[in-house]
Amino acid sequence: MMDPRLLDPDEELVKHRWLDDAELDQTVRLLESLRRWHNAERSTSEAMRKDMDLGESDMRALRYIIAAQVNQRLATPSELAQHLGLSTAAVTKVLDRLAERDHIRRLPHPEDRRSTAIEATDETRKTARRIVGRSHAGRFNVAAALTAEEREVVIGFLDALSATVPPE
């Protein structure tokens, strides 16, 4: 975000005169830091999708499937559709792409003959762990290094920031 003193000097959108220069500078630095984090996260995600030859929906589906496996649950196409907010037809296309690239296997559901169980291949799980696991571990370690009070402040800030985005 650009400095509102430059972008909006008349305060048509951003009321900022109540902050002194030091507070305004710090607020701008905070938002610039958030932008850097967002860009870094996007770059990491894009690199992983490129490395694994996946689209955004494919990657989200694969994360869900792997998480289900880690938690010893079976992932099904209908659960996946609900999780991704996609139609079952769209999920079928996602699963077809993942199967073509040997990222998943479709298996008969052991308890429901009308359903299919989906699991990630060993190679895909290993690749995802190698690429994403380190990144997630690094983020967790940064969050864990904060004090309980600092984490609550960050949680409150991020939740309030999320509330500024209109619902889809």
CATH C-level class of 56-120:
mainly alpha
- pLDDT at 128 exceeding the cut of 70: yes
The pTM for the full model equals 0.70
- pLDDT at 137 exceeding the cut of 60: yes
How do the domains of the chain map onto residue ranges? 1-52, 56-120, 122-168
* DSSP output for the chain: ---HHHH-TT-SS---TTS-HHHHHHHHHHHHHHHHHHHHHHHHHHHHHHHHT--HHHHHHHHHHHHHHHTT--B-HHHHHHHHT--HHHHHHHHHHHHHTTSEEEEE-SS-TTSEEEEE-HHHHHHHIIIIIHHHHHHHHHHHTS-HHHHHHHHHHHHHHHTTSPP-
Q: 41-91 pLDDT, tens per residue?
A: 888 778 777 777 788 889 899 999 999 999 999 899 999 999 999 999 999
- pLDDT at 1 exceeding the cut of 60: no
Residue percentage of the chain with pLDDT more than 90: 52
Give which of 162, 128, 116 is closest to 53, Cα–Cα: 128
Query: What is the band of 113 on the pLDDT scale with cuts at 50, 70, 90?
Result: confident
